[in-house]
């Protein structure tokens, strides 16, 4: 009877080292139960890294395992299914053909998760456990070091505030692809790998040192495997290790290699090839940062994604908490450039009020308000580079910056809001807008119309309007304001932005003093 009210959700991860299926029963984020957990080690991972191509044999291997997973999902009668691929497929030169073949042969539609989102899902799950008190970090700076096959994600926080987040294309198998099989047999191989890691990450070290990090969190399968082979006991999903313990463990190999890991711990070649560069990444960070404790947390990508999915489905307050963390982080990004926090805060407030007044009538989900908030924070960053071409510079900055939690499609929408947020699509070259897909164009046009109207209310950047409130009547949006100052500029720019708003939504905005 207890599970009658629960919903079921299946998640399949096509990874580089293994493919995994989890079936989850849930009623809330606090009430999630894994009722089936199956994993199959695969052989195609390193081949894809070396050739950037999914061969026919590799595709067969993937489809065969997916077929077995599909039968298990049928046995449980699970209808809600997500099939995700990370590095294994997303960098293949035949990506579209692989996705199509998998769909034709198995019926599964693949969602390709890009690196920034992959790292974020794991952080989403892990940070939830942190807030629940699985380990007390005593308000000290903490660094999450998330190593995947294709990348390294570093996320630093202190006292419930994100300090920085950086992603690097230097994952475990990506490191190994730089060395031939013959080179891996050389005695100097471990030293060469360590120097390669140090050189590749050289811009990072000063930034890491300035935050006085006291704890390093290692997560995922590699962290769990490391804890197991070092005999670390887990309590509430957490294992603890002193930095010197890890250093001594690595020293004990007198040059750690995949072959030594295979022989000493009876690991498969695949796992050894992943663990060896992971250990050296850990070691390089410990050479630079003097921390008190290493915390091993087993939160995996599939667990993090599942928690994110359930939190979104059940409208859990933790989602809002996360978004506020991310908005604060975006403010830190904006602080690197020309930034007017007071102006940005006003635009963010106005855009949110306008969005909430109309979003149910205009066919947008509430989650798009988050993109408006980000646009409010970042929309003037390009002035740091070139005031005359600030909108183009802002567009390029957004497109070339890793923005934690955003997909590439979301980032492109955000860049378009910032690009057209001053004059609208008609007032600027439509070249950027025309690069969007038809579905993206509809969303972008709506968000740009709202943003332009919000921006008009503080066009002078002087904060003349102290507050606004709205009333939606039939086909009119009444925007009332309070101000004791002359707002001629704001009224005139509002009137101009209102024309586009009315064309996009069929709702005519009117500005009236309250």
CATH, residue 101: 3.30.420.40
Q: Is residue 237 in a domain?
A: yes
CA distances from 453 to 196, 343, 347, 379, 457 (A): 50, 14, 9, 14, 7
Where a domain ends, among 247, 274, 305?
305
pLDDT confidence of residue 205: 77
Beta strands 7-14 and 81-85 are: parallel
In a domain, 310, yes or no: no
**Closest listed residue to residue 175, CA positions, set 205, 208, 206, 148:** 148
Q: What is the pLDDT of residues 169-178, one digit of tens each?
A: 887 777 887 8
**Does a structural domain hold residue 311?**
no
Q: What percent of the chain has pLDDT over 70?
A: 99
Does 345 share its domain with 430? yes
Is 39 inside a domain boundary?
yes
Reported as a single tens digit per residue, the pLDDT across 106-156 is 999 999 998 888 899 999 999 999 888 878 888 899 999 888 777 888 899
- In the three-class reduction of DSSP (H, G, I as helix; E, B as strand; rest coil), residue 389 is classed as coil
Report long-range pairs for 21-24 (Cβ below 8 Å, ≥24 apart).
21/69, 21/72, 21/73, 22/302, 22/303, 22/306, 23/72, 23/73, 23/76, 23/78, 24/306, 24/310
Contact in structure between 372 and 450 (CB atoms under 8 Å): yes
> Within this chain, do residues 431 and 337 fall inside the same structural domain, yes or no?
yes
One domain for residues 462 and 387: yes
pLDDT of residue 214: 92
Angle at CA of residue 261, ends 260 and 267, nearest 5°: 130
Tokens encoding 490? 């704001």
Considering the domain architecture, whether residues 260 and 366 belong to the same structural domain is answered as no
Least confidently predicted of 149-153, 261-265, 398-402:
149-153
Structural domains in the chain (count)? 3
Q: What is the mean pLDDT of residues 487-492?
A: 96
How many Å separate Cα 374 from the centre of its chain? 14
**Cβ neighbours of 488 (radius 10 Å):** 10
Mean pLDDT of 23-52: 88
Three-state DSSP class for residue 430: coil
Backbone angles phi, psi at 29, to 5 degrees: -65, -30
Query: Could you tell me if 108 and 145 lie in one domain?
Result: no
CATH number at residue 224: 3.30.420.150
Is residue 159 left, alpha or beta, with left meaning phi > 0 and alpha meaning psi from -120 to 50? left
pLDDT tens digit sequence for 374-391: 999 999 998 888 888 888
C-alpha dist (Å) from residue 209 to 82, 109, 141, 142, 433: 39, 43, 11, 12, 41
Q: Are residues 499 and 416 in the same domain?
A: yes
- The verdict on 42 and 125 lying in the same domain is no
* Domain shared by 144 and 205, yes or no: yes
Is pLDDT of 1 > 60? no
- Can you give the pLDDT at residue 2? 47
Domain boundary among 79, 113, 147: 113
Indicate the residue among 88, 113, 138 that finishes a domain: 113
Give domain status of residue 241, yes or no: yes
CATH code for position 369? 1.10.3210.10
Q: Which helix (H) or strand (E) element contains residue 141?
A: strand 141-147
Laid out side by side, the sheet with 18-28 consists of 31-41, 18-28, 7-14, 81-85, 110-112
What is the per-residue pLDDT across 469-481, written as a single tens digit (0 to 9) for each?
999 988 999 999 9
**What is the pLDDT at residue 4?**
53
Please tell me the distance from the alpha carbon of residue 172 to that of residue 465, in angstroms, as a whole number.
Answer: 53
What pLDDT shows up at residue 3? 47
Average pLDDT, the chain: 90
In a domain, 1, yes or no: no
Q: Is residue 34 part of a domain?
A: yes
* Claim to verify: residue 109 and residue 122 sit in the same structural domain: no
Residue 197 host element (H or E): helix 189-200
In terms of domains, do 485 and 353 share one? yes
Residues in a beta bridge with 470: 479
Q: Are 241 and 293 contained in the same domain? A: yes
Domain range for 73: 7-113
| Residues 95 and 121 placed together within one structural domain of the fold | no
């Amino acid at each position: 009877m207890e599970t009658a009210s629960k919903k079921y959700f299946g998640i399949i991860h096509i990874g580089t080292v293994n493919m995994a299926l989890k079936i989850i029963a849930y009623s809330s984020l606090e009430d999630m139960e894994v009722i089936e957990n199956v994993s199959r080690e695969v052989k195609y991972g390193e081949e894809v890294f070396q050739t950037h191509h999914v061969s026919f044999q590799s595709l067969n291997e993937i489809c065969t395992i997916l077929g077995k997973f599909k039968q298990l999902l049928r046995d449980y009668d699970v209808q809600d299914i997500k099939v995700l691929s990370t590095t294994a497929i997303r960098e293949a030169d035949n990506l579209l053909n692989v996705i199509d073949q998998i769909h034709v042969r198995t019926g599964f539609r693949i969602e390709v998760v890009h690196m920034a989102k992959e790292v974020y899902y794991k952080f989403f799950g892990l940070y939830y456990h942190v807030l629940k008190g699985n380990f007390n970090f005593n308000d000290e700076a903490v660094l999450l070091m998330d190593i995947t096959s294709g990348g390294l994600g570093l996320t630093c926080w202190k006292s419930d505030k994100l300090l920085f987040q950086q992603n690097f294309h230097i994952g475990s198998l990506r490191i190994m692809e730089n060395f031939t099989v013959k080179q891996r047999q050389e005695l100097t191989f471990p030293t060469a790998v360590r120097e390669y890691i140090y050189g590749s990450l050289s811009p990072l070290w000063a930034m890491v040192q300035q935050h006085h990090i006291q704890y390093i969190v290692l997560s995922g399968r590699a962290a769990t495997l490391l804890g197991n082979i070092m005999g670390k006991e887990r309590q509430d999903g957490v294992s603890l290790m002193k930095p010197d313990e890890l250093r001594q463990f690595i020293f004990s190999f007198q040059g750690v290699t995949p072959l030594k890991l295979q022989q000493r711990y009876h690991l498969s070649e695949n796992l050894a090839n992943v663990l060896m560069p992971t250990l050296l990444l850990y070691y390089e960070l410990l050479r630079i940062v003097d921390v008190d404790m290493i915390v091993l947390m087993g939160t995996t990508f599939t667990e993090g994604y599942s928690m994110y999915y359930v939190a979104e489905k059940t409208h859990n307050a933790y989602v809002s908490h996360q978004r506020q963390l991310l908005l604060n982080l975006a403010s830190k990004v904006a602080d690197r450039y020309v930034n007017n926090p007071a102006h940005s805060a006003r635009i963010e407030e106005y855009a949110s009020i306008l969005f909430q007044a109309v979003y149910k009538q205009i066919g947008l989900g509430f989650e798009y308000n988050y993109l408006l908030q980000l646009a409010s924070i970042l929309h003037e960053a390009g002035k740091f580079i070139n005031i005359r071409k600030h909108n183009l510079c802002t567009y390029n900055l957004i497109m070339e910056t890793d923005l934690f939690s955003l997909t590439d499609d979301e980032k492109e929408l955000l860049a378009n809001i910032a690009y057209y947020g001053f004059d609208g699509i008609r007032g600027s070259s439509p070249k950027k807008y025309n690069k969007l897909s038809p579905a993206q164009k509809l969303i972008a046009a709506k968000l740009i119309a709202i943003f332009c109207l919000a921006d008009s209310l503080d066009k002078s950047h002087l904060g003349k309007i102290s507050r606004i409130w709205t009333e939606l009547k039939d086909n009119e949006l009444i925007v009332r304001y309070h101000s004791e100052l002359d707002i001629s500029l704001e009224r005139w720019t509002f009137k101009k932005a209102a024309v586009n708003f009315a064309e996009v939504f069929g709702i005519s905005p009117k500005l009236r003093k309250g």
